[in-house]
Amino acid sequence: NYEESVFKGKNFLSEIAKVRKINEYIEESNDSIIFSTIHSFKGLESKIVLLCDVDDIEGTNAKMLNYVAISRAKLLLY
């Protein structure tokens, strides 16, 4: 419920507007750093990809998620 969520006390619409502005900036800029989940980066590419907490990927989709993660890099993968 809302009272127990991370959005408690926040203006939800203004938070969405902030995220939208960030996303618009990222789309216009070629030199920005994108912090993303593997799921939301699916289908996208970047010159350099840094993967964090890959040891925490578990479950039946672990191999698929690892493949998606490592195949996003055009030049360098860390």
Overall domain count for the chain: 1
pTM of the model: 0.53
pLDDT at 61: 82
Q: In which domain, by residue range, is 61 found?
A: 33-78
Report the half-sphere exposure of 37 (CA within 13 A, side-chain side): 4
Report the half-sphere exposure of 59 (CA within 13 A, side-chain side): 6
Higher-confidence residue of 38 and 56: namely 38
pLDDT at 64: 85
Tell me: pLDDT of 67 over 70.
Answer: yes
Tell me: pLDDT of 45 over 70.
Answer: yes
Assigned domain for 41 exists: yes
Assigned domain for 13 exists: no
| Contact call for residues 54 and 63 (beta carbons, < 8 A) | no
Assigned domain for 57 exists: yes
Both tokens assigned to 6: 């991370």
Assigned domain for 23 exists: no
State the DSSP code for 15: H
Assigned domain for 49 exists: yes
Assigned domain for 10 exists: no
